[in-house]
Structure 1
Amino acid sequence: MGVSGCGKSEIGRLLGERLGVAHIEGDEHHPPVNIAKMAAGTPLDDADRQDWLLILQQKIRAAADRGLGMVLSCSALKRRYRDLLRGGDPDLFFLHLDGDRELIAQRMQARPGHFMPVALLDSQFRDLEPLQPDEAGVRADIRLAPETLVDEVLARFNPDIRKEEK
């Protein structure tokens, strides 16, 4: 989870590979109207996100019902969005990719062809509600190299993991 440009897709892909589970890119499930709205520089509101989050909740539930692990890249900016996603699996765990606005804006400017303009970054930071103490999850610093970030996150769950075993 995190604002646009924080590395959700890349870290999600790496985590999925390392854990041997599917990675689902949440942005691929936005309806065309949401993509068009964001591309035009208009932030999504809660109503815009509702159906999208319900689609993602269904994917989470389907994986949980089959006993399969899954990594989902999704902004999940607000607590209520995360609560909705947890409706698919109460054991859902969040990795908050956290970084400062300047670094994220630089990253967004460097990625050609993405529908999300840098102009919407401030609205994302305004909406962002960090994980609360009662939410299962951890915060990770996006200044770390992606492989290092993934190593650190995985080591938090299993301190016996060593780089050479991966």
Structure 2
Amino acid sequence: MVLMGVAGCGKSTVGVMLAARLGAAYLDGDDLHPSVNIEKMSRGVALTDEDRWPWLTRVGEALIKPEGPLIVGCSALKRAYRDHILETADAPVTFIHLAGTSDVINARMNDRKGHFMPPALLASQFAALEPPEINEKAINVNIDRPLVSIVDTIVAQLEGMENGK
């Protein structure tokens, strides 16, 4: 599974809790970024597609035959990025889009400490975002609610997918 969405939507926080609920491992996609990408974002410079391809390849590679259930946090903002992850992983991947308004996410980003991604880049994230389409194996979850409710909703939707609902 890939937890996706713009910076500050809660991928890491939701990912850790969801992984615990599902008995899965959680891997923060930020840890897979080349150092040049982190340095660039730290300076407030938005990444280009060319900057992202090596990172997205690493995300897809992490999903190749993991030792057990795995959830990776990765923005996966564009359909082409998700397709690249799928091609690299060469396996079924469910994308879980943590969706929220720019106001909600901006407030969260301003409250968090110690992250390299500045709130100033949030507008570029929303500009690049292409929410999953109906023909993608994906679910959308509104993040404007308590964390436990977000995770409960994801678990219920995943169970619904397994049961063909």
TM-score where L is the length of structure 1? 0.90
Q: Match of 1:9, as an amino acid?
A: S
Match of 2:32 in 1: 29
Letter of the 1:49 counterpart: R
Change (3 A) 1:89 1:146: farther
- The 5-angstrom pairing of residues 63-142 of structure 1 reads 63=66, 66=67, 68-87=68-87, 88-142=89-143
Correspondent of 1:61 among 55, 61, 64: 64
Amino acid at match of 2:50: A
- For the aligned residue pairs, the C-alpha RMSD in angstroms reads 1.1
Bigger Rg, structure 1 or 2: 1
Deviation at 1:39, TM superposition (A): 0.7
Q: How does 1:9-20 map to 2 (within 5 A)?
A: 9-20=12-23
Match for 2:97: what amino acid? H
Indicate the SS of the match to 1:61.
coil
- Give the Å deviation of 1:73: 0.5
What runs of 5+ residues in structure 2 fail to find an aligned partner?
161-165
What displacement does 1:89 show? 3.9
Report the CA distance shift for 1:89/1:70 in structure 2 as closer, same or farther (over 3 A): farther
Which letter does structure 2 place at the counterpart of 1:45? T
Retained in 1: the 8 A contact 2:15–2:73? yes
Tell me the amino acid that sits aligned with residue 138 of structure 2: G
Instruction: Answer yes or no: is the 8 Å Cα contact 2:139–2:157 preserved in 1.
Output: no
> 1:150: how far off?
0.7
2:159 corresponds to which residue?
Answer: 158
The percent identity for this pair of structures is: 43
Matched residue, 1:162: none
- Mapped to 2, the partners of 1:93 and 1:123 lie a distance apart of 25
Secondary structure of 2:12's aligned partner: helix
Cα drift, residue 90 of structure 1: 3.5
> Deviation at 1:116?
0.3
- The 3-state SS of whatever aligns with 1:44 is coil
**Unmatched runs of 5 consecutive residues or more in structure 1:** 160-166
Instruction: Report how many residues are paired.
Output: 156
Paired with 1:9 and 1:89, the residues of 2 have a C-alpha distance of 24
- 2:141 counterpart SS class: strand
- Please state how far the C-alpha of 1:158 moved relative to its aligned partner: 2.9
**1:130 is matched by which residue type in structure 2?**
P
Q: Deviations over 1:101-133 (max 9, x none)?
A: 011111001011110011100000000000011
8 Å contact 2:9–2:98 — kept in the other structure? yes
- SS of residue paired to 1:12: helix
Secondary structure of the structure 2 residue equivalent to 1:3: coil
The TM-score, its normalising length taken from structure 2, stands at: 0.91
